[in-house]
Amino acid sequence: MAQIAIYPGSFDPLTKGHLDIIQRAARIFDHVIVAVSNNPAKKPFFSLAERIQMAELVIRDIPNADVDTYSGLLVDYLKARKARILIRGLRVVSDMDYEFQIASFNRRMYKEVETVFLMPDEQYTYFASSLVKEVCRRGAPAETFVPAPIARLLRKRFSPKK
């Protein structure tokens, strides 16, 4: 049976750190699903359709990865996709406390789930989507933080309106 791994997130926007995690996971597991969260309570900067489009553009060269969306409980999505592996990225030590709580909670609700923590390349450890949006809003070059297709969307979004 193929090992399906789910990498969930809001990906608002998807950063080079996220892409690094996706590439690492794709080398380990048979199939990786980048699961874009549909949680309007988070008030995302980009629409769900835009976030899905960005993810699809960025992973199109990874043959064993695809993009999907989910809402509701992540464990319900895992069960529906017949997946037992949950990928989570750890950038810095402070991420571990939160991620440990979430992993424990998920295991309580779905005992078969295994959370696999992957660290991005050290050059991406400080890349958080919220910080990326903020520095790009203030004029930083988006290509430093996000793949080229996403950088174009960020520049367009932050360009002065005429």
* CA–CA separation, 99 and 117 (whole Å): 9
Residue 153 CA: distances (Å) to CA of 18, 25, 67, 148: 17, 26, 18, 9
Tell me which of 79, 91, 152, 157 is the catalytic residue.
91
Least confident of 16-20, 63-67, 68-72, 151-155: 151-155
User: Is there a catalytic annotation at residue 91?
Assistant: yes
pLDDT tens for each residue of 22-61 = 999 999 999 999 999 998 788 899 999 999 999 999 999 9
Closest listed residue to residue 37, CA positions, set 18, 6, 65, 10? 10
Q: Supply the DSSP string of 118-162, one letter for each residue.
A: EPPPGGGTT--HHHHHHHHHTT--GGGTS-HHHHHHHHHHHSPP-
pLDDT, residue 128, reads 85
Q: Which CATH number is 4-158's, of 2.60.40.1890, 3.90.930.12, 3.40.50.620, 3.30.300.30? A: 3.40.50.620
Domain boundaries, the chain: 4-158
Tell me which of 18, 24, 31, 88 is the catalytic residue.
18
* CA–CA separation, 14 and 29 (whole Å): 20
User: Is there a catalytic annotation at residue 71?
Assistant: no
